[in-house]
Amino acid sequence: MLDQGGLVSRIKVPEQKRVELWTQDDFTERLKDVGRSYYHDKHPFHVAMHQGKLSREQIRGWVANRYYYQKSVPIKDAAILSRLPSREMRREWIGRIIDHDGKQGEEGGIEAWLRLGEAVGLSREEVLREEHVVPGVRFSVDAYVNFARKKPWIEAVASSLTELFSPGLISKRIKVLERFYPWIDRAGLDYFQNRLMQAPHDSDVALKLVLTYCQTPEDQRRAVEALRFKCDVLWAQLDAIEKAFPPNV
């Protein structure tokens, strides 16, 4: 090859390293590794909760702020639903919206979360008015909804795969709340009981889509990154809540 000065170039361009497609088992493990490393059960606020160290004000702050996330989940899922390419996919995905919004004669997860708010001593009105929602929570949740609206649909689906890790956390959370926070009305824990059944089904559907439609190494890498982004969203929420509701000293 001649360079601009007419001399033979002795510079060898290195061959691009070929990136192999992960097997479905390897891909699944890569996704689960994100949860092992970055899921918000490892956040200091959650650790303190599970050790029974949170005050009533901190529990109430968490519930009030988490409501903003809960009410945004069906909005996120509606954004994904509108972009799914087949009727069969949309039929599966629409159940997520119903689980949270409910339907005639059947209350959904948002209503169950409002009852949790009442169970920890908040009024329904102050939760609905979002009086205690801090800017960091609002910003991170809105970023998640915008991610679902703007990213390729398969990446948005992959971001929902924190549901792979949530049943274990929810099961532990129920026991923790019953043991360390007996002042919480047990009727308010229905949300968590319901998610123990819903989350495994939801994660199975999403994982099947991700494994089926991520057919290049780049697709797989972006799916893992999308899931990491969702973990960051959950972590950022707890950062904001922890700062707004510090422990009593």
Higher pLDDT: 3 or 120? It is: 120
Looking at residue 4, its pLDDT comes to 46
Q: Which burial class, exposed, middle or buried, applies to 109 when counting CB atoms under 10 A from its CB (0-12, 13-18, 19+)? A: buried
Contacts of 95 (CB under 8 A, 6+ apart): 202
- Determine, yes or no, domain membership for 9: no
Task: Summarize pLDDT for 61-111 with one digit per residue, the tens.
Answer: 999 999 999 999 999 999 999 999 999 999 999 999 999 999 888 889 999
Q: Domain with 205 in it: what CATH number?
A: 1.20.910.10
DSSP three-state, residue 108: coil
- Determine, yes or no, domain membership for 81: yes
Mean pLDDT of 195-223: 96
Task: Summarize pLDDT for 138-155 with one digit per residue, the tens.
Answer: 999 999 999 999 999 999
Task: Summarize pLDDT for 163-194 with one digit per residue, the tens.
Answer: 999 988 999 999 999 999 999 999 999 999 99
Residue 115 near residue 121, CB atoms below 8 Å: no
Looking at residue 10, its pLDDT comes to 46
- Determine, yes or no, domain membership for 97: yes
- Determine, yes or no, domain membership for 16: no
Looking at residue 12, its pLDDT comes to 54
Can you give the residue range of the structural domain that contains 104?
24-33+53-244
Looking at residue 247, its pLDDT comes to 79
- Determine, yes or no, domain membership for 5: no
Q: Which two tokens stand for residue 239?
A: 């950062």
CA angle (227, 233, 238) in 5-degree steps: 135
The domain total for the chain is 1
